[in-house]
Amino acid sequence: MNTQAAIQTKTVEYQCGDVVCQGYLAYNDVSGGRIPGVLIVHEWRGVGDYEKMRAEKIAALGYAAFVVDIYGKGVRPKDDEEARKQATFYRANRALMRQRAQAGLAQIRKFEFVDPENIAAIGYCFGGETALELARSGADIKGAVSFHGGLSTPAPQETRNLKAKILVLHGADDPSISAEQISTFQNEMRQAKADWQMVYYGNAVHRFSNPLAGDNVKSGMAYNKEADARSWEAMQSFFKEIFSR
């Protein structure tokens, strides 16, 4: 059976307080019964083609994927400068970051084909940082996966609320994440007695999973085909572990 042909997609508007958000849903309509849900948090340019592609690939694995909109409907930075401003704003307002992520989590649970007891959150770059922040908030999710995301948090003591298992997929040569940030994160996980994993990919820098990042490693942001494939496999193995079927 060609399950790829059965993938259904649609844009979904939902609310976060008074703000209208616009996410993207992908699922396999031949799966039958309720299926695990995967919340996807976008890179710093907001919901775009890259995130939609990832959602469709996750749907092809047999899950329901929902790209959450942290910025709100119509807020789509046109360049890196605007994206940096948006990402910086939410990094400085972690309560709002968590609120927007939690609104997406509430929305994915509303889909009748999603098993509300089997949900994970993943994210890329800014999205990876947000997925970890959602987990730190004590959200009732099975796991959180960060692809080349930020690791810091202003309130590490709140990690004691963590319920989710954690998987961090990290470019070993990523210049945007300092050794101090890595050490602090690992100590945070240890102190919280978290179930966590961190995988390093040699020769990989920031945005290693995104073909749109180009191949200029010296810029600090570049695609790495091997790291992309290996991290995708690591995510799938993690899902098999955390989701009870």
- The 3-class secondary structure across 57-71, one letter per residue, is HHHHCCCEEEEECCC
Instruction: For residue range 42-68, list pLDDT tens digits in order.
Output: 999 999 999 999 999 999 999 999 999
- Please give the radius of gyration of the chain, using alpha carbons only, rounded to the nearest integer: 17
- At 73, is the pLDDT very low, low, confident or very high (cuts 50, 70, 90)? very high
pLDDT at site 226: 98
pLDDT at 3: 44
What's the CA gap between 55 and 66, in Å, rounded? 7
DSSP 8-state secondary structure symbol assigned to residue 157: G
What pLDDT score does 244 carry? 72
**Other CB atoms within 10 A of residue 6 CB:** 14
Residue 31: predicted pLDDT = 59
Q: Which residues of 89-109 are buried (b: 16+ CB within 10 A; e: fewer)?
A: ebbeebeebbebbbbbbebbb
Q: How confident is the model at residue 1 (pLDDT cuts 50, 70, 90)?
A: very low
Amino acid 126: pLDDT: 98
Report the mean per-residue pLDDT for the chain: 95
Fold of 3-242: Rossmann fold (3.40.50)
pLDDT of residue 51: 98
Do 18 and 44 meet the contact criterion of CB atoms below 8 Å apart? no
Lowest-confidence range among 3-12, 96-105, 212-221? 3-12
151 DSSP 8-state letter: -
Beta bridge partners of 40: 67, 122
β-partners of residue 64 are 37
CB 67 within 8 A of CB 47: yes
Asked if 3 and 57 touch (Cβ cutoff 8 Å), the reply is no
Please, are residues 164 and 150 in contact by the beta-carbon 8 Å criterion?
no
Taking only the tens place, the pLDDT of each residue in 106-128 is 999 999 999 999 999 999 999 99
pLDDT of residue 6: 84
Give the sign of the dihedral formed by CA 78, CA 84, CA 85, CA 88.
positive
Domain ranges of the chain: 3-242
What pLDDT shows up at residue 2? 37
Going by C-alpha positions, the residue among 65, 57, 67, 66 that lies closest to residue 3 is: 57
pLDDT at 89: 98
Span 145-194, pLDDT tens digits: 999 999 999 999 999 999 999 999 999 999 999 999 999 999 999 999 99
**Residue 186 buriedness (CB in 10 A; 0-12 / 13-18 / 19+):** middle
> Quick one: pLDDT at residue 245?
54
